[in-house]
Amino acid sequence: MTPADAAAPRLWLVPTPVGNLGDLTFRAAEVLRGADAVACEDTRRTGALLTHLGISRPLVRLDAHTMHRAPAVLAAHPRLAYVSDAGTPGISDPGAELVRAALDAGIAVEVLPGPTAFVPALVLSGLPTARFTFEGFLPRAGRERAERLSAIAARPETTVLYESPHRLAATLADLAAACGPERAASVTRELSKRFEETARGTLGDLAAHFAQGVRGELVVVVAGRPPGSVLPGEAAPDPEAQARAWAAEGRSAREIRSLLMAAGLRKNDAYALALRVTSP
């Protein structure tokens, strides 16, 4: 980097620990130390983090209620670092708006790699990770919430979402109603902290387990819809029609048998139907 580049306006998004302060990277501390100012959601929380690190920098509040001030803050502090309350800024927080404001002003943006909650929770769930959808926080009520729950129930890939402690029980109950109580899921709380916990089971079991409430930061992971499964309120598909459709896709008799069994057909019946639809 040339001296001119070093002086150019820049916005850094700096991930901060979701729990254990030891998860902050050396580079993150270096950027916080060298910035003109540190913008954040909560000046008290970020002030405590900087004090822990032995860093003294001006703090500027930029949260969902004050993000309209972003252009002025970027102009006043050309070398600005931004942190959220925990994790990587821009994920389910106002950081995305700040990035847009910086880009609109022609300011270079750099995002440091570092802590985030949904990736370790996804891996800890034990559910498939090759494809997944991150939902962030669900709407609290209304049509949009119902539509998002229906989408989660229908999609074949794993879903990851955040939830607050006082709404977890209601969300698990709603997910069980939308997906069916037997859908596999997990709830991870207090990542990297002393009382970290991951509870795994069906949505019905988890809804019962957390019915009395819980404390801590939470990540919910829900398995994708099993092939051939029937969602609550849906009419059961005709097994033979479904089996012939799978055969037309080129699936083997073994695959079709497994899919039919996952859909609730008895082993012997599934085996006989799979052979019938794949026979020349």
Question: Angle at the Cα of 64 (from 58 to 69), degrees rounded to 5?
Answer: 55
- Residue spans per domain, the chain: 9-111, 118-222, 239-278
Q: Is the pLDDT of residue 4 over 50?
A: no
Q: Are strands 79-83 and 10-13 parallel, antiparallel or unpaired?
A: parallel
Q: Tell me the CATH architecture of domain 9-111.
A: 3-Layer(aba) Sandwich (3.40)
Does residue 263 surpass a pLDDT of 90?
no
> Tokens representing 239?
């097994």
Q: Report the CATH architecture of 118-222.
A: 2-Layer Sandwich (3.30)
Tell me whether the CATH fold assigned to 9-111 matches the one assigned to 118-222. no
Count the alpha carbons within 13 Å of 160 in the hemisphere toward its beta carbon.
Answer: 24
Whole-number average pLDDT of the chain: 91
Residue 3 has pLDDT above 50, yes or no: no
| β-bridge mates for residue 109, sequence order | 11
Rounded Cα–Cα distance for residues 170 and 187 (Å): 14
261 — pLDDT class (breaks 50, 70, 90): confident
Q: What average pLDDT does the segment 14-32 reach? A: 94
pLDDT digits (tens, 9 = 90+) for 82-99: 999 999 999 988 899 999
pLDDT tier, 2 (very low <50, low <70, confident <90, very high otherwise): very low
